[in-house]
């Protein structure tokens, strides 16, 4: 009998979808259909096993992946009463804390501070300790890692005291002050979401039991990327009786610097007794030529599970290696190849250039502009991180949470109608600090003339207080989300901004996003919308900045942002020692293994064409230095083992002849000293050579 849920699956996928054990680890290599397995397994359990969809929790890492999962599940299930809870780790934690703010000892209308808000608060803390504000990002990164490891500020302070280490003691004080600052403003940062969710269950075992019964079936995508706090949260919800299905690829762990820990994948059966393991081994994305090279590379890693991936597609073009004199010529050669690919009919959106560091993009941008190649930089500022959007949302947050002083100062510093000088804001802050009171009291004192401000500044404060009270009344009258946002946007002045039309369009787009959110969430309020936008504003591969049309542009991005994507043609650049792999410690083999996984991820994004380029010298870290070929080229079987600068002559390789110019190898006959090559030159037609004697340079 035909089954639409199972008929489109291969044998391994079908085995995973119909697995009837309690716990399951699905090892899914690149391009093997992991999302298909997750969505079809959820549909199978609901439609064929009679599982209540409301009892399923599906967790992933990015908003984009969560949306795709929801869309696919809905497409299979159709219109059924109830649906699985699907979203990111942070979204699930926020959902829990909104429901149990009392148990977590949080303010009811707590707000979420994004990276800019966090830096503003940290700079204030550092300024009182005479520490340069430029170090705010460094301290925040350390604190984020501590939270990922479930180390709260008070616990860390105890450890710091025991260690008698000066740096740890200083950090502990800053961490405590930072958390006190967040609490005073009724705010959480992203690390707090997971930390507080874990504490919620730890301190309320009965509540943990409630959610174990609510979600007896748990699915986790990209399980190889979880950190300690995410793992602990999953363990708490699963409990002793829950069923856990995780999809992972330990060969794609490239976020260890973000605290991702591959041990949770490698030790899955040890942690979850009786768990089954199924490997998806059919790759539907890449040609055998690309996949074989990638597998040769990754087998040099020790801490991994072996997977013998098989390409379903027929053989294609061999990976091409391009060698340039320096980074400028590398960009020029890549740009020419991209231009040629476009001229052959490959869509710009199906082409990507990857690099290890953002700094590498500059020369590619220059060359792409010269050849009129449309491109977009991926990973830049997203919609909710734009200044005008953050300004409008700051006043919205202040309506929901008047204690949020960072938002208050942002409004008073940025809104044209209320904009105060830095000196005026500084005077208000000093008055509040010396009087041991808050910002609102300082504004009230300014209105009475108790703070030394100009009459112009006093007038702006009066206008702000009048506008704020009007908005409070509007919120109390339960006006629609769009109406409130429009009123706030009008106060901002951006809706009527004739000089910066893009800002006006963005402001109106925010109003529309509020309308859409309210339509999709009938019980939504302004606080819920703000939580939603905070999650969307998080830094991830979801955010794009395009200098060309959004759908018809070549993508330029770091390899870290390429994970989860695929393109017909991939240009993987800067394949040199010191760059890829990046500078690694000789005493830490784990670092080189992560760099190897990063290269593997970059290679396996390619569907049809893979080009790998390097420069013989590169201007990096302030000087032009020699750049030896990366060891990874040899490990992937793409260059000879006895010399990093000797590429293997393959059919399809590009070569250069001193008289005939550049061409491509179209045929090889024989081996060793007797090998003959047929080369199709761009201008000189077809020529045949005895390889051992011909002056052929492989590009």
Strands (E) in 137-284, as ranges, are: 187-188, 217-220, 243-248, 276-280, 282-283
Which three-class secondary structure state does DSSP give residue 217? strand
Q: Which of 39, 88, 212, 252 is catalytic?
A: 252
User: What number of other Cβ atoms are within 10 A of residue 565's Cβ?
Assistant: 16
Q: Which of 15, 18, 35, 282 is catalytic?
A: 35
179 belongs to the catalytic site: no
What lies within 8 Å, CB to CB, of 197 at 6+ separation is 92, 93, 96, 97, 233
CA neighbours within 13 Å on the CB side: how many for 316?
A: 21
Question: b or e along 525-555 (b: 16 or more beta carbons within 10 Å of the residue's beta carbon)?
Answer: bbbbbbbbbbbbbbebbbbbebebeeeebbb
605 belongs to the catalytic site: yes
- Residue 475's nearest CA partner among 514, 503, 507, 508 is 514
Q: What is the C-alpha separation between 8 and 36, in angstroms, rounded?
A: 10
Q: What is the C-alpha separation between 615 and 373, in angstroms, rounded?
A: 22
252 belongs to the catalytic site: yes
Is residue 650 within 8 A of residue 639, CB to CB? The reply is no
Token readout for 546 is 């395009």
- Residue 47's nearest CA partner among 1, 79, 87 is 79
Residue 378 phi, psi dihedral angles, 5° rounding = -105, 135
CA-to-CA dists, residue 423 to 129, 413, 445, 454, angstroms: 21, 11, 16, 11
154 belongs to the catalytic site: no
CA dihedral 659, 663, 668, 673 (to 10 degrees): 30
- Residue 84's nearest CA partner among 193, 208, 201, 217 is 217
222 belongs to the catalytic site: yes
Residue 235 burial by Cβ neighbours in a 10 Å radius (0-12, 13-18, 19+): middle
Q: Which of 605, 614, 650, 654 is catalytic?
A: 605
Paired strand residues for 567: 606
- Residue 330's nearest CA partner among 557, 613, 631 is 613
What lies within 8 Å, CB to CB, of 3 at 6+ separation is 48
36 belongs to the catalytic site: no
Q: Which of 14, 34, 147, 285 is catalytic?
A: 34
Q: What is the C-alpha separation between 322 and 611, in angstroms, rounded?
A: 7
CA-to-CA dists, residue 557 to 357, 360, 576, 599, angstroms: 9, 10, 18, 14
Q: Which of 148, 222, 225, 595 is catalytic?
A: 222
Q: Which of 117, 221, 251, 595 is catalytic?
A: 221
Is residue 632 within 8 A of residue 288, CB to CB? The reply is no
Paired strand residues for 557: 354
Token readout for 71 is 């869309």
Is residue 321 within 8 A of residue 699, CB to CB? The reply is yes
Token readout for 633 is 């080229």
Token readout for 145 is 């890692």
Residue 88 phi, psi dihedral angles, 5° rounding = -85, 170
CA-to-CA dists, residue 108 to 100, 422, 572, angstroms: 9, 32, 48
Instruction: Kindly give the residue spans of alpha helices, DSSP state H, lying in 78-135.
Output: 89-99, 115-127
DSSP state of 81: S
Residue with tokens 């008055």: 431
Paired strand residues for 245: 24, 219
Q: What is the C-alpha separation between 595 and 613, in angstroms, rounded?
A: 17
Q: What is the C-alpha separation between 133 and 280, in angstroms, rounded?
A: 49
Active site residues per annotation: 34-35, 221-222, 252, 605
């Amino acid at each position: 009998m035909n089954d639409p849920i199972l008929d489109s699956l291969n044998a391994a996928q079908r085995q995973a979808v119909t697995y009837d054990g309690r716990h399951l680890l699905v090892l899914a290599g690149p391009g093997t259909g992991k999302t298909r397995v997750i969505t079809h397994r959820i549909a199978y359990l609901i439609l064929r096993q009679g599982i209540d969809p409301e009892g399923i929790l599906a967790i992933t890492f990015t908003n984009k992946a969560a949306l795709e999962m929801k869309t696919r599940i809905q497409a299979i299930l159709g219109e059924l009463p109830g649906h699985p809870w699907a979203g990111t780790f942070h979204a699930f934690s926020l959902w829990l804390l909104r429901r149990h703010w009392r148990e977590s000892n949080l303010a009811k209308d707590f707000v979420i501070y994004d990276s800019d808000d966090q830096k503003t608060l940290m700079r204030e803390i550092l300024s009182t300790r005479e520490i340069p504000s430029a170090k705010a990002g460094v301290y925040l990164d350390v604190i984020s890692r501590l939270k990922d490891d479930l180390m709260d500020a008070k616990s860390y302070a105890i450890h710091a005291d025991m260690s008698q280490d000066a740096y740890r003691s200083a950090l502990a004080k800053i961490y405590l002050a930072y958390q006190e600052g967040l609490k005073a403003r009724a705010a959480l940062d992203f690390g707090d979401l997971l930390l507080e969710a874990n504490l919620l269950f730890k301190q309320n075992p009965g509540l943990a039991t409630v959610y174990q019964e609510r979600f007896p079936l748990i699915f986790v995508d990209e399980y190889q990327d979880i950190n300690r706090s995410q793992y602990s949260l999953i363990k708490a919800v699963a409990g002793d009786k829950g069923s856990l299905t995780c999809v992972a690829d330990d060969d794609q762990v490239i976020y260890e610097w973000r605290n991702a820990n591959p041990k949770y994948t490698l030790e899955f059966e040890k942690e979850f007794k009786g768990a089954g393991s199924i490997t998806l081994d059919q790759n539907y994305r890449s040609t055998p030529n690309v996949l074989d090279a990638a597998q040769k590379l990754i087998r040099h890693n020790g801490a991994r599970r072996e997977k013998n991936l098989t390409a379903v597609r027929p053989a294609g073009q061999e990976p091409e290696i391009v060698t340039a004199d320096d980074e400028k010529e590398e960009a020029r050669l890549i740009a020419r190849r991209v231009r040629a690919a476009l001229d052959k009919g490959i869509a710009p959106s199906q082409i990507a250039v990857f690099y290890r560091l953002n700094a590498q993009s500059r020369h590619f941008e220059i060359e792409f502009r010269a050849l009129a190649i449309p491109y977009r930089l991926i990973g830049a500022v997203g919609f909710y991180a734009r200044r005008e959007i953050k300004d409008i949302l700051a006043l919205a947050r202040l309506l929901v949470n008047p204690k949020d002083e960072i938002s208050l100062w942002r409004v008073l510093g940025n809104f044209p109608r209320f904009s105060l000088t830095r000196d005026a804001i500084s005077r208000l802050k000093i008055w509040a600090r010396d009087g041991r009171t808050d910002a609102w009291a300082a504004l009230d004192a300014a209105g009475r003339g108790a703070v030394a401000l100009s009459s112009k500044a006093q007038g702006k404060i009066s206008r702000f207080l009048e506008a704020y009270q009007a908005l409070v009344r509007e919120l109390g009258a339960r006006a629609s989300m769009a109406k409130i946002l429009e009123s706030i946007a009008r106060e901002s002045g951006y809706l009527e901004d004739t000089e910066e039309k893009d800002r006006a369009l963005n402001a109106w787009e925010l109003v529309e996003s509020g309308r859409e959110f309210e339509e999709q969430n009938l019980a939504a309020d302004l606080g819920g919308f703000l939580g939603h936008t905070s999650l969307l504003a998080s830094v991830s591969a979801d955010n794009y900045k395009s200098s060309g049309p959004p759908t018809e542009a070549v993508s330029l991005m770091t390899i870290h942002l390429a994970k989860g994507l695929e393109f017909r043609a991939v240009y993987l650049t800067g394949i040199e020692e010191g760059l890829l792999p990046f500078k690694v410690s000789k005493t830490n083999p784990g670092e080189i293994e992560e760099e190897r996984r990063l290269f593997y991820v970059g290679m396996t994004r390619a569907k049809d064409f893979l080009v790998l380029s390097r420069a013989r010298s590169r201007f990096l870290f302030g000087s032009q230095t020699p750049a030896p070929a990366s060891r990874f080229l040899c490990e992937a079987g793409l260059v000879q083992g006895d010399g990093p600068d000797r590429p293997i002559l393959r059919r399809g390789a590009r070569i250069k002849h001193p008289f005939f110019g550049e061409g491509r190898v179209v045929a090889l006959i024989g081996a060793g000293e007797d090998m003959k090559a047929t080369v199709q030159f761009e201008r000189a037609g077809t020529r045949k050579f005895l390889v051992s004697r011909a002056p052929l340079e492989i590009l």
